[in-house]
Structure 1
Amino acid sequence: MNDGNHPTPGAYWDPLPTARHLLVKEPNLDQFGGLWRERNWRNVPGPFYGAHTDTMEMGRQDAPFHIAYDDDGREFVYRQPTDPGQTFDLLNGCFFGHGGFAMDGDDHWTVPGVREWWHGRGRVREWAVTASDHLARIGGEYRSHHQDSAQGLRDYIAHLDRGLDEYLRGYLFWLAERRPPRAGEARPELVPPHRRAPAPPPAPTTGDPLLAGYFVAVPERLTGLGVPHERLTTACDCLIDRLPTDGCWFDTPQQALDACAAIQVPAEARLYALLVPAEHTAGLVADIRASAVYEPVLLAHLDRRVGAAPAPQPADGGREIGWEVLGYDGGLLHSWLCNDLHQDAVRELGVTPDARGLLPSRDPADRLAAWANALDDTKPVTWFPAALLEWDTPIESHFVPIVTEPPVPTPIPWWERLLGLA
């Protein structure tokens, strides 16, 4: 069994001729009926992918270096094959997907599509980190199976961090030319030139942070980030639940409260506002505009162009609860806590978040953002410090659950009770 770690550097090997040859010899392995529109977003770009596979979690028995499982037990491809042995392993692993795998990715992936997937890879990495930590903690009768599932996700993380970028550059060449690159031939970059351009210079003005927007969230107890946070509170879209749905931003508190009025709201839910220092808004706005997914509320509040209306002020009654460090990527705000920066920052900078995962003041947040931006192995974003305001008032909801009255029992006749027939 090939561990998948020995591709030809800088090249691309097309596995489909080998796969088709193997399927002619072993037609029972042809379990490829998956649909592109149903593909699992965790699949890495390439010809093979898992779509609506079964949930039996058996693919890793034959292809542990290529197949992993999601939260529902469905299978996806986290490493594409790069030689005949790997292709044989993957075909055997796909056999247990019962028609949910596919091998027509080349017909759908495009150069912009692969670049966009790579730009948003932090989403799948954060999921894999959290999911592998959870699986590793499960005990009981199936502990060994959960441990193997966790190992698959750890292998995925390692592949994301080391090796996948080189594979995808070769794949970009293949998609554009339909042939592998020759020795010494330049391959396309994963990050297009406009995204590598330096961010605009920060605004020369300083002063009070600008209101970015309002959101409603439920603080959560989280233990998967290296240190426990009893009431994690963040504007990050990955770590806590937003209401009414993840990613919701509002212009005003009333809009946020109105949106939550018709849903069931946990008692712990609160209204929050995000504030960004004026000198950091230019970098955030540039990342939002470079993203494929715009965030209109954040742009409307922070894109202070000449002639724009005065920046809105936070509503009365909110209190500052702390600072965090965020970055915008692929339509979502991400936190330094969900990007493997936490342990290094605590060790190197001496910063210590509180039980909410927040820093006590702007100074450590400024230092942490500058430190993160100087690293070359984090997300391709501009990290910035931001303050959170919280309103103590519980969120009012008019949600009324539907209650079905239990059926009224039919009285038992006296004669049945007397004869013992009841």
Structure 2
Amino acid sequence: MDDGTTPISGGYWDPLPTARRLLVEHPSLDQFGGVWEGRNWRNVPGPFYGADTDSMQMGRLDAPFHIAYDDEFGPLDGQEFVYRQPTDAAQTYDLVNGCFFGHGGFAMDGDEHWTDASVREWWQERGRVREWAITTSDRWSRVRGQYREHYRDAAQGLRSYLSHLDGGLNEYLRGYLFHLAEGRSPLPGEARPELLRSRRPGPPRTADPVLAGYFVAAPEPLNGSGMPHNELLTTASDCLIDRLPQDGCWFDTPAEALAACAVIDIPTDARLFALLVPGDHVDAFVTDIREAETHEPVLLAHLDGPDPTPEPTEGGRALGWEVLGYDAGILHTWLCNDLHDDAVRELGITTDNHGLLPDRTTAARVATWANARDDTKPVTWFPATLLTWDTPIETTFVPVTTAQPAPAPTPCWQRLADLF
């Protein structure tokens, strides 16, 4: 049994030809029926991965240097995943045998799904799996009783995973990126991509507002307790109004936003908006997004991407300022935290008919005041401003009309009565 640490000449060795030959020679081992959509997020990038495997946790009997277990369904009831890809024929043989016990839940078509971007994204977010592996291995190491040996082995699998994260995985994935791009393994000494692209040096953060993204929404009335009474509430938060075509929709450009809304039923008062965040508040906003481990590609590309932040498209007018905070994938507004009445009383602020604050200074005061409280959502509140475009959004949506039901036939007794 190979210990999984064989050095790779050039940084990548393709195991698929060997795996296919083994399955021809041993057809009973062909238990590869997993699908990409069910892939366990703990799998390292590469051709092999565990998806909806069984929960018997037997894969490590044959492949302890490649397969580990999760705790998704509770003690002794987790599924299996691949934490180290094979780098020679012996390791491939071990892994194919270990996958047999997954009863159809493993797959070997990862090359058809992984992309340059998704591999880099997985590496960027590896802290998520690290934190899980440390916590779970520590808990499993303390188990006593009948299943102690199984837990000790499962914990060892996660410790091996952590060692691989800190050891050879970086070099393996650089070779894998080359393989995905070129369709071959890199030659010894041949340059391979870096996992984290170096960013172009940008100017220092300034206080000027920078574009976070575009969204489409229709103002809505607000009459809740502890909130201002508005007929045209407008906010970048999903808490109090609906964004279109669905909550959470951010767009990179106005053209993308208008195209997405052109085929749906749009209220006549729906408009295009842009959210701008002062540069000196961007880092706290980005930190909350990344710590929430949620997917905000538009916001992160604009606020924390390698390219300069684009300027808002022409024609927009400033609408006002609000105070926002990001928590668990949701952008909250200070108004949904019952802070309005206290702010009016303690800070003497006022909001307009959109529920917005008049200027940045006022919004910054509210944000600082909200951050000092302990009765709001666990977010970092920050000031933000909205731009809007007054042009109505065009749509090709045609409502489906149903035919009017035919009138019910006149009862026979009524027809007879009409004769007299």
TM-score, length of structure 1 as denominator length: 0.53
CA distance in 1 between partners of 2:177 and 2:185 (Å): 10
CA distance in 1 between partners of 2:92 and 2:170 (Å): 20
Letter in 2 for 1:390: D
Q: Which residues of structure 2 form unaligned runs of 5+?
A: 209-235, 242-277, 304-308, 313-317, 325-333, 343-369, 378-420
2:200 counterpart residue number: 197
Q: Which residues of structure 1 form unaligned runs of 5+?
A: 206-249, 256-277, 319-385, 394-422
2:99 counterpart residue number: 94
Letter in 2 for 1:66: H
SS state at 1:17 partner: helix
CA distance in 2 between partners of 1:44 and 1:388 (Å): 41
SS state at 2:101 partner: helix
Out of 73, 79, 85, the residue aligned to residue 80 of structure 1 is 85
Letter in 1 for 2:28: N
Change (3 A) 1:9 1:203: farther
CA distance in 1 between partners of 2:17 and 2:372 (Å): 55
Change (3 A) 1:168 1:140: same
Displacement of 1:47 after TM fit? 0.6
1:49 counterpart residue number: 49
Displacement of 1:13 after TM fit? 0.3
1:28 corresponds to 2:33: no
2:131 counterpart residue number: 126
The answer as to whether partners of 1:49 and 1:105 remain within 8 angstroms in 2 is yes
1:165 counterpart residue number: 170
The answer as to whether partners of 1:204 and 1:279 remain within 8 angstroms in 2 is yes
The answer as to whether partners of 1:201 and 1:282 remain within 8 angstroms in 2 is no
1:268 counterpart residue number: none
Aligned pairs, number: 259
Cα RMSD for the two superposed structures: 3.9
CA distance in 2 between partners of 1:113 and 1:121 (Å): 12
Change (3 A) 1:136 1:198: farther
Displacement of 1:94 after TM fit? 0.7
2:230 counterpart residue number: none
CA distance in 2 between partners of 1:139 and 1:26 (Å): 39
Query: What pairs with 1:124-273 in structure 2 (closer than 5 Å)?
Result: 124-193=129-198, 196-198=199-201, 201-203=204-206, 251=237
The answer as to whether partners of 2:10 and 2:185 remain within 8 angstroms in 1 is no
1:341 counterpart residue number: none
Displacement of 1:202 after TM fit? 3.1
What do the CA deviations read for 1:273-304 (whole angstroms, capped 9, x no partner)? Answer: xxxxx875233456769x952597xx99xx9x
1:390 counterpart residue number: 374
Runs of 4 or more above 6 Å deviation: 252-255
What do the CA deviations read for 1:164-198 (whole angstroms, capped 9, x no partner)? Answer: 111011001101111111122111221234xx334
1:309 corresponds to 2:324: no
Displacement of 1:134 after TM fit? 1.7
Displacement of 1:43 after TM fit? 0.7
Displacement of 1:316 after TM fit? 6.8
SS state at 1:283 partner: helix
The answer as to whether partners of 1:203 and 1:282 remain within 8 angstroms in 2 is no
Structure 1 or 2, whichever has the larger Rg, is 2
SS state at 2:81 partner: strand
The answer as to whether partners of 1:53 and 1:99 remain within 8 angstroms in 2 is yes
Change (3 A) 1:191 1:284: farther
The answer as to whether partners of 2:173 and 2:195 remain within 8 angstroms in 1 is yes
The answer as to whether partners of 1:10 and 1:166 remain within 8 angstroms in 2 is no
The answer as to whether partners of 2:3 and 2:65 remain within 8 angstroms in 1 is yes
The answer as to whether partners of 1:136 and 1:146 remain within 8 angstroms in 2 is yes
The answer as to whether partners of 1:9 and 1:166 remain within 8 angstroms in 2 is no
The answer as to whether partners of 2:58 and 2:98 remain within 8 angstroms in 1 is yes
2:245 counterpart residue number: none
Letter in 1 for 2:43: N
SS state at 1:44 partner: coil
CA distance in 2 between partners of 1:203 and 1:92 (Å): 57
Displacement of 1:312 after TM fit? 2.8
1:103 counterpart residue number: 108
1:239 counterpart residue number: none
1:13 counterpart residue number: 13
Change (3 A) 1:99 1:285: same
Displacement of 1:311 after TM fit? 4.8
The answer as to whether partners of 1:94 and 1:101 remain within 8 angstroms in 2 is yes
Change (3 A) 1:3 1:308: farther
Letter in 1 for 2:42: R
1:293 corresponds to 2:296: yes
Displacement of 1:156 after TM fit? 1.0
